């Protein structure tokens, strides 16, 4: 049966905590405070899979959907018939 010395366990915990804190200070000392490269503006036009581009994609989809509905209402025929595809 194994027996653990509680004093040894407390010593080990204290040493690892202090060592971790010192290493964190050493690694963070060389870090620069940088600003994010991604714009936080939700209306900014960004390329790629970003929240801004997804917002614009949704806006353009809504414009397209409304324009299709308006074409069908005012022409009396579907969009494919309106364009002569069918």
- 33-37, 38-42, 63-67, 80-84 — most confident range: 63-67
Q: Mind giving me the DSSP string for 19-75?
A: HHHHHHHHHHHT------SS---TT----SS-HHHHHHHHHHHHHHHHHHHHHHHHH
Rounded mean pLDDT, 61-80: 94
pTM tops 0.75, yes or no:
no
Does residue 4 register a pLDDT over 90? no
What are 8-40's pLDDT values in tens digits? 556 556 555 555 555 555 555 666 666 656 556
Owner of token pair 């509905």 = 69
- The pLDDT confidence band at residue 58, using thresholds 50, 70 and 90, is very high
Where in the chain are the domains? 52-86
């Amino acid at each position: 049966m194994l027996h653990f010395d509680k004093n040894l366990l407390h010593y080990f915990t204290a040493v690892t905590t202090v060592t971790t804190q010192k290493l964190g200070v050493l690694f963070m000392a060389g870090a620069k405070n940088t600003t994010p490269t991604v714009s936080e503006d939700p209306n900014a036009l960004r390329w790629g899979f970003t929240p801004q581009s997804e917002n614009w994609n949704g806006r353009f989809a809504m414009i397209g959907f409304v324009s299709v509905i308006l074409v069908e209402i005012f022409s009396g025929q579907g969009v494919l018939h309106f364009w002569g595809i069918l």
